[in-house]
Structure 1
Amino acid sequence: MRVVLDTNVVVSGVFFGGVPGRILSAWSAGAFVLVFSPAILEEYRRVGHELGSRYPAVGAAFEPVLTLIAMNAVIVDAPPLTVPVSADADDDMFLAVALAAKAAVVVSGDQDLLEVSGWRGIDVLTPRQFLERHLPT
């Protein structure tokens, strides 16, 4: 199964663990295929570095995770959506990648993305929903 992870999931997983951390661990164990675009990777990097400046002890671990993602996830060059879908236009890049990569799911804690779940057959799930539905223990 191909999955797009919103920035909040990746950053939360690295910095705070919890359910997003379990999702990242499941990906690294091969439970699903992570797909992203260059723009998404850049957003991961930017937000991670901003948070890393506030939490330097954890921030040092962020760059190796980005390297792991860049080397082991599937990169997709997705054209931008021609019509805005999410209330926050910046979130549309996650939907564009999901559409281009034929990903089944976008995992996000962002309410604007969650509200468009089902668009073009793409489920947008919270981290907990994704864990319960697709990564049962």
Structure 2
Amino acid sequence: MGLLMPTPVRNPKTFIFQLRVRVPADLVAIARGKVVGLPVGGSIKQVTIGDAVKVSLGTRDPNEAKERYAAAYAALTAFWAALRNGPSALSQKQTFALAGEAYAAFVAAFDDNPGSTERWERMLRANSERGRANSIRSPFPTNDND
């Protein structure tokens, strides 16, 4: 008999479906306390891993719960695989693709309203205090020698 994929479970108090999956035995020590982002209903839910991974699927509809579960479970199994395999090198094409996604998200978040100068200065200061490189530079030339 083959292994069956886990299925959504209904919370007995709220009747909202959940993903509830035990952490594989070989990953319990590695995974505990890590945070994984799982896609649920068009957004990403951040979940801290314990002995199991639990996240609300945000629906009482069984058919919608199955769809949401499948997407979240696929992401979770990919996360397990990444923990087992460790980091891997990216090709130049993959690196540029990820950079493009980060750029698109940045533009979507700040294009219409970039916020105040003070906000950006706080962000640069915080990054510097954490030892992160600040590669954000103004596209306009400055005359620091004046």
Which bin holds the TM-score, normalised by the shorter protein?
under 0.3
Indicate the structure with greater strand content.
Answer: 2
Higher RCO (CA-CA < 8 Å; seq separation 6+)? 1
Larger radius of gyration: 2
Instruction: Give the structure-1-normalised TM-score.
Output: 0.25
Instruction: Give the structure-2-normalised TM-score.
Output: 0.24
